[in-house]
């Protein structure tokens, strides 16, 4: 088992303090409530320490029969009860006051993480593992509540009580009582911290295997049909179980080491209490202390050491929570690849002309995707891009939406470099019907309204009508409220595509992108949708990315791409007449169509 080095431990401690400081802004909103909760905590502990002191006076009162036993003890007993009640009252007030602080901090962190995830680039999201990140985020946001809960309800109460008990011992008893108490606490903390740091390696590795297993299970279920196609259920289970086997071994070691830690803590506390009681018993024997003093010292130590015994568990849980929190704050520290320029203005949309000016691009340096791509889509015209798979066609739409920035050259809209304008205004001006339509696991109505959330129902129904999907929706048992399933799996490819077309119509963008927009449709539906798309694209600047050449014959200009370069361009008739690559592709597709009909 790999042990944590001293350098790694120091770095981990720095990260812990860094993360705790990073958590403070989430508490600042309710700083007054936090201060009031701490005030209630202090009052509760003052009352708590006052209880054994009154108990001492009660015991001492019974030691002296000459005292008016019917009056004095009754008064002390009433005070005893009042202090017990006060301790409970202030503890509950602390909980009530601090609840809003704790849960608001969780809420703020959760929303900030989701906001940040939406800001991160497409490159990050294409490479992430959804199952692992969801588990990490769940543990990370929960860790904020865990830390606040333990700090306010466990750590601070013990610290305050320890200080109050130290004042009592120093003020009323020999220095030896205080020294033994301090020494016991010091040894306890050193032992606990040392063993817990050693155990943290198990926890970190358990987290890694837990996230890995969750990701494997998530991927397996997301690809349910693929697993079934190839009959690989056993492979998936073996892979998942192998990860859980590694996690199980670490979990057992972690539990065994916890038993060692718990026994050591118990032994230290037992030795400390025994020494204190021996000192107190000697004091009673030689007359320097009363029986009430013996009771007081015993009660104080019990009040201190019982929660101190829990403090070891608390420390471990805080360390675990800090490890979980580190995952979230490292995510928040990840810089987005694509960001607005400082003070970036909104896109000043006029005619909607789009220009790719000598654009070069690659995802990895060793493999160029676009090479010196240069073309213009005049305002209100349609330009189609065709070519074989891997030619770089879909990358054009990603650059236009500014999911990535070009390595060389510029993308301009109405003469404005899209890197110089705000991303929100840029994307508001563009609508897309993607090749692979992914829907939310909500109603069809919700997915349609997603194109423009403020649209009226009449506008949504009209968009569905234009996309030739309204009749289908209204024929369903639940109609517009039909839930489409995760990623829209309850709908066919053609039905999902029509939903995508409808919500793009609803968005009313000035610039349109159709990325294989009819690839999942049958021939009859494709003809109807093509007519609709032609109507929608009228007077819009439109980029059509297509594989079927039959869908682009009416385009104002067609670009033929190969290996990231524009090889040919012109109208359908011009390209056929040229007898080049486009003409060969057209002949091949016509022949394939004739054979399949």
| Residue 270 CB partners (closer than 8 Å, separation 6+) | none
How would DSSP label each residue in 327-349?
A: HHHHHHHSPPSS-PPTTPPPP--
26 contacts: CB under 8 Å, gap ≥ 6: 104, 105, 108, 109, 144
The pTM score is 0.67
Strongest mean pLDDT among 123-127, 326-330, 372-376: 372-376
For residue range 498-551, what is the model confidence (pLDDT) as tens digits?
888 888 888 889 999 988 776 656 667 677 667 777 777 777 899 999 888 888
Res 493 pLDDT > 80: no
Q: In this predicted model, what pLDDT tens digit does every residue of 47-82 receive, in sequence order?
A: 888 888 877 777 777 766 554 444 556 777 788 788
Cβ pair 340, 389 in contact under 8 A: no
Long-range contacts of 114-122 (CB under 8 A, 24+ apart): 116/331, 116/332, 116/334, 117/331, 119/336, 119/339, 120/334, 120/336, 120/337, 121/336, 121/337, 121/338, 121/403, 121/404, 122/398, 122/403, 122/404
Tell me the range of 60-69, 470-479, 491-500 where mean pLDDT is highest: 470-479
pLDDT digits (tens, 9 = 90+) for 383-441: 999 988 778 888 999 999 999 999 999 999 999 999 999 999 999 999 988 877 888 88
* 228-250 per-residue burial string, b: 16 or more CB within 10 A, e: under 16: eeeeeeeebeebbeebbebbeeb
Q: Which helix (H) or strand (E) holds 18?
A: helix 6-27
What DSSP designation does 4 have? Answer: P
* Ranges in the chain annotated CATH 3.40.50.300: 354-596
The more confident residue out of 134 and 273 is 273
Residue 4 is predicted with a pLDDT of 47
Cα 488 from Cα 220, distance rounded (Å): 18
Is residue 54 within 8 A of residue 46, CB to CB? The reply is no
More confident residue, 432 or 468: 432
358 three-class SS: strand
Other CB atoms within 10 A of residue 131 CB:
20
- Distance of alpha carbon 93 from alpha carbon 38, whole angstroms: 10
* pLDDT tens per residue across span 223-266: 887 888 778 888 889 989 999 999 888 888 888 888 888 888 88
For CATH 1.20.1560.10, the residue range(s) in the chain are: 20-333
Interatomic CA distance for residues 126 and 129, integer angstroms: 8
- Could you tell me which residue, 68 or 305, shows the higher pLDDT? 305
Sign, Cα dihedral of 74, 76, 80, 83: positive
- Calpha distance 292→344 (Å, rounded): 75
Give the residue from 368, 365, 366, 353 showing the smallest Cα distance to 565: 368
Q: Is the per-residue pLDDT at 334 higher than 90? A: no
Would you mind telling me the total number of residues written for the chain in this entry? 597
Pair type for strands 557-562 and 565-570: antiparallel
pLDDT > 70: percent of the chain: 90
As a whole number of angstroms, the distance between CA 597 and CA 595 comes to: 6
Q: Which of 149-153, 203-207, 325-329, 519-523 has the lowest mean pLDDT?
A: 519-523
Split at pLDDT 50, 70, 90, the class of 192 is confident
**pLDDT classification of 6: cutoffs 50, 70, 90:** very low
Q: What is the mean pLDDT of the chain?
A: 83
Q: Please calculate the CA angle 582-520-223 and round it to the nearest 5 degrees.
A: 120
| For range 434-452, the mean pLDDT | 87
Give the pair of three-digit tokens for residue 126.
Answer: 């294409």
User: How far apart, in whole angstroms, are the C-alpha atoms of residue 336 and residue 331?
Assistant: 10
Which residue has 């404005």 as its token pair? 416
Give Dmax (Cα) for the chain: 126
Report the alpha-carbon distance of residue 442 to residue 486 in Å, rounded.
8
Token couple for 377: 């889509």
Query: Which residues partner with 559 through β-bridges?
Result: 385, 569
| The listed CATH number (3.10.20.440, 3.50.50.60, 3.40.50.300, 1.20.120.1200) that belongs to domain 354-596 | 3.40.50.300
User: What's the average model confidence in pLDDT over 489-504?
Assistant: 84
What φ, ψ does residue 71 adopt, rounded to 5°?
-105, -55
Start-to-end Cα distance in the chain: 65
Query: How many whole angstroms separate alpha carbon 597 and alpha carbon 586?
Result: 16
pLDDT at 72: 56
Q: Which residue has the higher pLDDT, 360 or 51?
A: 360
- Give which of 177, 17, 38, 167 is closest to 97, Cα–Cα: 38
In this prediction, what percent of the chain has a pLDDT beyond 90? 20
pLDDT at position 132 is 60
Q: Quick one: average pLDDT of 314-328? A: 79
Please state which of the ranges 112-121, 197-206, 269-278 shows the lowest mean pLDDT: 197-206
Asked if the 20-333 domain carries CATH number 1.10.3720.10, the reply is no
Average pLDDT over residues 588-595: 76
SS3 of residue 426 by DSSP: helix
Nearest partner of 173 among 319, 289, 344, judged by Cα = 289
pLDDT for position 511: 92
What string of H, E and C letters represents the secondary structure of 73-132?
HHHHHHHHHHHHHHHHHHHHHHHHHHHHHHHHHHHHHHHHHHHHHHHCCHHHHHHCCHHH
Phi-psi map region of 491: left, alpha, beta (phi>0 left; psi -120 to 50 alpha): beta
Which pLDDT value is given to residue 228? 80
104-108, long-range: CB < 8 A, 24+ apart? 104/26, 104/29, 104/30, 105/23, 105/26, 105/27, 105/144, 105/145, 105/148, 106/141, 106/142, 106/144, 106/145, 108/26, 108/29
Q: Is the pLDDT of residue 13 over 70?
A: no
Write the CA distances from 39 to 30, 32, 99, 101, 157, integer angstroms: 14, 11, 15, 15, 11
Inter-CA distances, 428 with 122, 445, 504, 589, Å: 18, 21, 11, 36
Under DSSP, the state recorded for 556 is S
* Higher-confidence position of 482 and 522: 482
Vertex 304: Cα angle to 298 and 309 (nearest 5):
115
Q: What mean pLDDT is predicted for residues 87-106?
A: 84
């Amino acid at each position: 088992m790999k042990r944590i080095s001293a350098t790694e431990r120091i770095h981990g401690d720095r990260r812990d303090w860094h993360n705790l400081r990073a958590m403070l802004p989430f508490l600042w909103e309710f700083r007054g409530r936090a201060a009031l909760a701490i005030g209630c905590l202090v009052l509760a502990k003052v009352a708590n320490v006052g209880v054994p002191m009154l108990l001492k006076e009660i015991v001492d009162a019974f030691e002296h029969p000459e005292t008016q036993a019917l009056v004095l003890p009754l008064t002390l007993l009433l005070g005893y009860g009042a202090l017990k009640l006060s301790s409970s009252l202030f503890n509950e007030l602390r909980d009530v006051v601090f609840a809003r602080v704790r849960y608001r901090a969780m809420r703020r962190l959760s929303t900030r993480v989701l906001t940040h995830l939406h800001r991160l680039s497409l490159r990050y999201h294409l490479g992430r593992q959804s199952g692992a990140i969801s588990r990490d985020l769940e543990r990370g946001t929960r860790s904020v509540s865990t830390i606040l809960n333990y700090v306010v309800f466990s750590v601070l109460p013990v610290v305050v009580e320890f200080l109050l008990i130290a004042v009592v011992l120093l003020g009323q008893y020999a220095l030896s009582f205080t020294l033994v108490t301090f020494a016991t606490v010091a040894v306890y903390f050193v032992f606990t911290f040392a063993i817990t740091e050693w155990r943290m390696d198990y926890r970190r590795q358990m987290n890694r295997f837990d996230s890995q297993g969750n990701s494997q299970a998530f991927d397996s279920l997301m690809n349910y049909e693929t697993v079934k196609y190839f009959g690989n259920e056993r492979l998936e289970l073996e892979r998942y179980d192998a990860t859980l086997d590694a996690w199980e071994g670490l979990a057992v070691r972690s539990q065994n080491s916890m038993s060692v830690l718990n026994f050591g803590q118990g032994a230290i506390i037992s030795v400390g209490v025994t020494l204190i009681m021996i000192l107190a018993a000697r004091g009673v024997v030689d007359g320097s202390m009363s029986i009430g003093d013996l009771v007081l010292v015993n009660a104080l130590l019990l009040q201190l050491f019982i929660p101190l015994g829990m403090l070891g568990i608390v420390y471990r849980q805080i360390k675990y929570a800090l490890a979980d929190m580190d995952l979230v704050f490292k995510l928040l520290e990840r810089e987005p690849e694509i960001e607005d320029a400082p003070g970036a203005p909104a896109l000043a949309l006029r005619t909607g002309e789009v220009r790719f000016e000598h654009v070069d691009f690659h995802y990895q340096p060793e493999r160029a995707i676009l090479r010196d791509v240069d073309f213009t889509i005049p305002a209100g015209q349609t330009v189609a891009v065709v070519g074989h798979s891997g030619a770089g066609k879909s990358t054009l739409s990603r650059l236009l939406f500014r999911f990535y920035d070009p390595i060389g050259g510029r993308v301009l809209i109405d003469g404005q470099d899209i890197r110089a304008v705000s991303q929100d205004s840029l994307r508001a001006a563009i609508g897309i019907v993607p090749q692979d339509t992914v829907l939310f696991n909500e109603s069809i109505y919700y997915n349609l309204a997603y194109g423009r959330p403020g649209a009226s129902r009449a506008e949504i129904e009209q968009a569905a009508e234009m996309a030739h999907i309204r009749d289908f929706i209204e024929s369903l048992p639940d109609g517009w409220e039909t839930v489409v399933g995760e990623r829209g799996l309850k709908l066919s490819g053609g039905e999902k595509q029509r939903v995508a077309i409808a919500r793009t119509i609803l968005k009313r963008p000035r610039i349109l992108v159709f990325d294989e927009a009819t690839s999942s449709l049958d021939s009859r539906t494709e003809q109807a949708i093509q007519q609709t798309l032609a109507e929608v694209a009228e007077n819009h600047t439109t980029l059509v990315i297509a594989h079927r050449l039959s869908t682009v014959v009416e385009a104002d200009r067609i670009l033929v791409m190969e290996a990231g370069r524009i090889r040919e361009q012109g109208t359908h008739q011009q390209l056929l007449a040229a007898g080049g690559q486009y003409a060969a592709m057209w002949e091949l597709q016509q022949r394939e169509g004739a054979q399949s009909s």
